[in-house]
Amino acid sequence: MTFAERVIDFNNHLHFDKKLPDGIGVMNPFINPSVREVSGVFYRKYYNDDKQRHLILGINPGRFGAGLTGISFTDPKRLKSECHIPYTGPETHEPSSVFIYEMINAYGGLEKFYSKFYIHSAFPLGFVKIDAKGKEVNYNYYDSPKLIAAVQDDIVHNIKTQIAMGVATDVCFCFGTGQNKKFLDKLNQKHQFFGNIIALEHPRFIMQYKSKSKQEYINKYLKAFAGV
């Protein structure tokens, strides 16, 4: 199996049926046949080989990016405009995806970046909750101690599976210099997955709070990725 086929097989067999804290729901994009189709096209386009790649771990998929495309930090707009992959579903906009593809283009383009890096999430499925206004919003795996307890074993399994796909274990990158890094460091100390985990500011944080300094963060990403 190629790297692409291993990823596709992993994604298509994702499921989670453990009890969650009250008010928290799980979001599995891959139960949608259209998500399986477009994500399969993406992975076969950029990962149809046996090259070893470095893993980048986000938090968990959001509703308007990977929740619709099945591809980490890739919203429908970027899927069409940057990856040139047809998409007929809701054409949503995710700021994190905007940053990631600007960074990838600065790195040298999609083919070059995806030949060396593979982005997924610490927890591969999304979480949602209903906020005080009755609106469905994204929820992070680390936002609740009870949720962490419910998903920790699955996160360990997820990371082990990603490693078995053929990712390098000298260095792993993670998006999020706060809770995501803290939790992954704790797991890594116990399980010794990687020699080092390098944290980069989360794209959502950059776009929401540091957009005027976006180029500085792109440069920081490029410098970190140049080290492997």
How far is 85 from 91, CA to CA, in rounded Å? 13
- Give pLDDT, residue 45: 98
How many domains in the chain?
1
pTM for this one? Answer: 0.95
Domain with 39 in it: 3-225
- The mean pLDDT value for 45-69 works out to 96
- Give pLDDT, residue 223: 98
In this predicted model, what pLDDT tens digit does every residue of 180-218 receive, in sequence order?
Answer: 999 999 999 999 999 999 999 999 999 999 999 999 999
Q: What CATH number does residue 88 fall under? A: 3.40.470.10
In this predicted model, what pLDDT tens digit does every residue of 125-171 receive, in sequence order?
Answer: 999 998 888 888 999 999 999 999 999 999 999 999 999 999 999 99
